[in-house]
Structure 1
Amino acid sequence: MATISFSDLTFSWPDGTPVFDGLDAVLGPGRIGLVGSNGAGKSTLLRLIAGEFGPARGSIGVTGALGYLRQDLGLSVGQRVDEVLGIAGVRAALHRIESGTAADSDFETVGARWDVEERAVALLGRLGLDYLAGSPHHLDRRLDTLSGGETVLLGLVAELLADPDVLLLDEPTNNLDAAARNRLYEVLAQFGGTVLVAGHDRELLERMDAIAELRAGRLRLFGGRFSYYEQIIEQEQETARTAIRDARGEVRKQSRELVETRIKLDRRRRYGQKMYENKREPKIIMGARKRQAEVSAGKLRNNHLEKVEEAEQRLEQAEELLRDDREIRVDLPGTRLYPGQQVIALEEVTLANGPVVSLAVNGPQRLAITGRNGAGKTTLLRRIADEGPRVSWRMLPQRLDVFDESATVYENVAAGAPHADPELIRGRLARFLFRGAAADMPAAALSGGERLRAALAMLLLAEPAPRLLILDEPTNNLDLVSLGHLTQALAAFQGALIVVSHDLRFLDEIGITRHAELTSEGLRE
């Protein structure tokens, strides 16, 4: 019965921005999808659970051993596979024991883990890392020989080797091809403890036992799959929209009645003044009637004012229930290319991992490059960039290593657009949700979703405007609303696109015109 519990959990950023204030919740057992818009605090909550951050107040309880697969993994490309798996020391001790050169400390290091290499190889094979699973000697390989998707799977193997009772996963399907995703789904289905998955992969979320929505610092739990959660939210939103319509109608009605009452009162006042001026009744009687009329008029006017205020309050309460999530707005420059205009021309180019590739892209073609993890898709994109496209271009790399980490978001964007007015840059950054002080945040402090938004801003605001976009897994870390806006923007782009993505729905919606699969023999269309 592994669970995660929060009691009065309170946390703020160093600048005082609140993230959670008095959060109380219990999650688990089972598989739980953690959803929410970019910036809602999903990764922050996982880091709090993992102990990377400490709460300002309150407590977090985890029953059993904890495993945590971070969004950025925090790995160095120079690390070996066994170092990532956390078994390098045990392996070295085992090898000394087998060679007869062991010290007493080596037996203490190994303990009961005599089969650690075999377990690691078996798990690697289970998740499709076949060439790493072929032999224990392959555990000596360095990370810079692996693709982004293979690195994610390797990080998951490292967590599973520790036999956790509670497993935290932050965007675990980023960079994974379809086969790898299916293997990940199978592993999670068979996991016996509690899994908390933060992500936007609809298929993965549809396999959850429950959905936990993080919104405005509050956690709300929905039993059932993601589609059930969407259904409940849509029903609530339809109810909110109806309530808003009714409340607006009531405000109009009460405002109209207030105006009509004021007109009636003005008429009575003028009539009374006229009677007083004509002195048709004794002065004392007319004065009493005037005071009585003023009291009655005041009560009537206040009564209608109260009704207007009550109607406006009901409208405000109804509007609070209607979701108005922040979302990026992407306006791509008019960068029309004409049919036949040469964009890319590669002839018999040999990639580092073996395939020989020829590729021509002309005019506003939209090319999707697919292939298994490790096939060399990212390597191909880098080679295209190195060869030099024939038109202005920009590339969004998979690892998002495009920043001067010590500079702010604004400074990074401004460096690529030296002639742009500062106010124009800040205005455009606001469309990527970097408003006010957020634009002055150091790049090193950005979360995964923020890094992607900042990288997109750098890409699309650069000078000259790109006529070719080279995108390596552009949908990673984007919430569903922002993904929709990016999709619409790319669908309207008039230049050429070369996109590596495992999201088939995304590729279909941006209007891909060519598909090419990268294999060990080369590109196959």
Structure 2
Amino acid sequence: MPSITLSRLAASTPDGRALFSDIDLSFDGGRTGLVGRNGVGKTTLLRIVAGTQAPQSGTVSVQGTLGVLRQAVQVSPGDTLADLMGVAAALALLRRADEGQATAEELPSADWTLGARIEAALSRVDLHATPATPLSTLSGGQRTRAALAGLVLAQPDFILLDEPTNNLDRAGRAAVIDLLAGWRSGAIVVSHDRELLETMDAIVELTPLGATRYGGNWSHYRARKALDLAAAQHDLADAEKRMGEVERTTQANAERKARKDGAGHRKRAKGEMPRILAGARESRAESTSGDQMRLAERRRTQAVEDAAAARRRIEILQPLSVALPSSGLPQGRTVLRVEAVSAGYEAGRAIIDGLTFGMTGPERVALTGPNGSGKTTLLSLIAGKLAPRSGEVRTTRAFALLDQQVSLLDPGLSIRDNFLKLDPGADENACRAALARFMFRADAALQAVGTLSGGQMLRAGLACVLGGSQPPELLILDEPTNHLDIDAIEAVEAGLRAYDGALLVVSHDETFLSAIGITRRIDLTGKD
């Protein structure tokens, strides 16, 4: 039976930072989602399983065949879809056989069902193309789907997928989700796409504490994590209670000893107790007191260690909750008006043509449509980075755009300095309090923005924009969940739920859109 077994696996980054150690996992024919914070080693673990990277220590045993889908599909000049799917040679043989040019030795290996199977594989991932289609004519999302079709065609015992829905539009995401929902062989999927993770049979979470398997899909995993958090909070409360009891008992014993010592001194002073007897009693009292102090210290040390362990677990399990100042946006104020706007980058070709819509009050609007329909172009028009060919765009002056690069922030400055640059009226205490609400406490607030991960950078952008004394009336976000881990996404969601201004979002992540309370959608389908 096909299986993958990892034994005492360990790996480090090239600069020597430990990622994980003593990982023992096994995978059978089910679908497993591999989750964890960015930088914890998910992609490294997948590479080790695929055999493209050696572990620092430990072993990998694979029974069966593997198919791998990587985050980026590399394209060489002249490559066709047949090259990507690994069938170019087999199709060339079929052409030679049709033309009567195949040799007698080649003919037995000709696969006459290949054409039909390729067509079925492309249909399964909803890709309208042929084996001769040049890869240079396909978008990144279409190449991902073509690579998935290649896996469908090969029918390996296990498929390894690394963020398969990144950069895909809604149709592409749906194709991947449907594919995995119906996949009957083994699959290990690194993903932050919660809709995709709902199709899994099990979730494996990598954390600094190790790897933990949870049976069931994403919803079952979250329910179990909620129980784990409640247990950790109970353990912390119990440890803190024991610490308090030890302190009170120690204090009571010290006071009792002081009273006894005082009484003994008074009796000796009056001559009521022989000196030998008084000395023996004092020696016994000191011995008992020492035993009690050592026992109390052991109990206190154990309680402190238990409390620290519980806090570490809570830090990993605790979802972020954010409280923000009000934007002060009233219900009736118009924050955005797009009137009969047309725009594009090439003469004679309009990406957006005659678009009209508006936003009033704290609406939460999603811009939807397939890749290439003009969503990012529209955001550039609204932000003033692109001038319309015709029509007019009017927006409130109090708006902020967080693009995928969070270019609002200066990468050469610290998070703290960026905050003070954007909100020069804030004092140090207000700055530090605002950043702490987004989990940038103490020295974490002094990190240079250019050194942050994608998730940290977006969280820093939200902290600097929304955490100030006067958040903007309109916040615009372009694909905010791309390349973020789930903890980072949920931190962003928490910040946006606390924001009371208007929100305009481009995202293909339906779970994210639902979580932030989208109230209206503007579909740009057909605007290209």
**TM-score normalised according to structure 1 size:** 0.76
Question: Does the CA contact (< 8 Å) of 1:84 and 1:158 recur in 2?
Answer: no
Which segment drifts farther, 255-264 or 457-466?
A: 457-466
Q: Distance in 1 between matches of 2:100 and 2:438?
A: 63
Tell me which amino acid in the other structure corresponds to 1:123: A
In structure 2, what is the equivalent of residue 262 of structure 1?
254
In structure 2, what is the equivalent of residue 274 of structure 1?
266
Of 356, 360, 381, the match for 1:359: 356
Give ranges in structure 2 of 5+ residues lacking alignment: none
Determine what percentage of the aligned residue pairs are the same residue.
Answer: 32
In structure 1, what is the equivalent of residue 54 of structure 2?
54
Label 1:349 to 1:319 Cα distance change in 2 as closer, same or farther (>3 A): closer
Label 1:387 to 1:4 Cα distance change in 2 as closer, same or farther (>3 A): farther
Question: Does the CA contact (< 8 Å) of 2:455 and 2:488 recur in 1?
Answer: no
In structure 1, what is the equivalent of residue 495 of structure 2?
489
Q: Distance in 2 between matches of 1:264 and 1:68?
A: 71
Q: Distance in 2 between matches of 1:11 and 1:262?
A: 51
Q: Distance in 2 between matches of 1:440 and 1:309?
A: 37
Q: Distance in 1 between matches of 2:78 and 2:413?
A: 31
In structure 1, what is the equivalent of residue 342 of structure 2?
349
Of 451, 456, 460, the match for 2:454: 451
Label 1:410 to 1:271 Cα distance change in 2 as closer, same or farther (>3 A): same
In structure 2, what is the equivalent of residue 500 of structure 1?
506
Q: How does 1:288-299 map to 2 (within 5 A)?
A: 288-299=280-291
Tell me which amino acid in the other structure corresponds to 2:136: R
Q: Distance in 2 between matches of 1:317 and 1:490?
A: 31
Of 194, 212, 236, the match for 1:202: 194
Q: Cα offset for 1:506?
A: 3.1
Give ranges in structure 1 of 5+ residues lacking alignment: none
Label 1:83 to 1:356 Cα distance change in 2 as closer, same or farther (>3 A): farther
Q: Distance in 2 between matches of 1:310 and 1:486?
A: 37
Q: Cα offset for 1:9?
A: 1.2
In structure 1, what is the equivalent of residue 120 of structure 2?
122
Q: Cα offset for 1:255?
A: 1.9
RMSD: 4.7
1:221 aligns with 2:213: yes
Q: Cα offset for 1:259?
A: 1.0
Q: Cα offset for 1:469?
A: 4.0
Tell me which amino acid in the other structure corresponds to 1:171: E
Q: Cα offset for 1:167?
A: 0.8
Tell me which amino acid in the other structure corresponds to 1:140: P
Label 1:358 to 1:182 Cα distance change in 2 as closer, same or farther (>3 A): closer
Q: Distance in 2 between matches of 1:49 and 1:507?
A: 34
Q: How does 1:33-432 map to 2 (within 5 A)?
A: 33-71=33-71, 73-75=72-74, 82=81, 85-87=84-86, 89-90=88-89, 93=92, 97=96, 112=110, 118-129=116-127, 132-133=128-129, 135-137=130-132, 139-140=133-134, 142-143=136-137, 146=139, 149-176=141-168, 180-216=172-208, 218-316=210-308, 318-319=310-311, 321-322=313-314, 324-325=316-317, 339=332, 341=334, 343-345=336-338, 347-349=340-342, 356-362=353-359, 364=361, 365-372=363-370, 375-382=373-380, 385-387=385-387, 390=395, 391=397, 395=401, 400=404, 410=412, 431=438
Q: Distance in 1 between matches of 2:338 and 2:97?
A: 54
Question: Does the CA contact (< 8 Å) of 1:371 and 1:519 recur in 2?
Answer: yes
Q: Cα offset for 1:329?
A: 8.1
Label 1:177 to 1:286 Cα distance change in 2 as closer, same or farther (>3 A): same
Label 1:452 to 1:151 Cα distance change in 2 as closer, same or farther (>3 A): farther
Q: How does 1:456-467 map to 2 (within 5 A)?
A: 457=460, 461=464
Tell me which amino acid in the other structure corresponds to 2:524: L
Q: Distance in 2 between matches of 1:103 and 1:383?
A: 58
Q: Distance in 2 between matches of 1:101 and 1:417?
A: 72
Q: Cα offset for 1:233?
A: 3.1
Partner SS, residue 282 of structure 2: helix
Question: Does the CA contact (< 8 Å) of 1:370 and 1:377 recur in 2?
Answer: yes
Which segment drifts farther, 164-173 or 327-336?
A: 327-336
Q: Cα offset for 1:11?
A: 0.9
Of 516, 520, 524, the match for 1:518: 524
Q: Cα offset for 1:3?
A: 1.9
Q: Cα offset for 1:12?
A: 1.1
Which segment drifts farther, 249-258 or 358-367?
A: 358-367
Per-residue deviation, residues 260-298 of structure 1 (Å, max 9, x unmatched): 111111111112222222333443443334333333333
Question: Does the CA contact (< 8 Å) of 1:366 and 1:511 recur in 2?
Answer: yes
Label 1:120 to 1:217 Cα distance change in 2 as closer, same or farther (>3 A): farther
Tell me which amino acid in the other structure corresponds to 2:20: F
Label 1:504 to 1:89 Cα distance change in 2 as closer, same or farther (>3 A): closer
Tell me which amino acid in the other structure corresponds to 1:188: L
Per-residue deviation, residues 36-72 of structure 1 (Å, max 9, x unmatched): 334332222222223343211122222333222233x
Q: Cα offset for 1:369?
A: 1.7
Label 1:429 to 1:156 Cα distance change in 2 as closer, same or farther (>3 A): farther
Question: Does the CA contact (< 8 Å) of 1:7 and 1:59 recur in 2?
Answer: yes
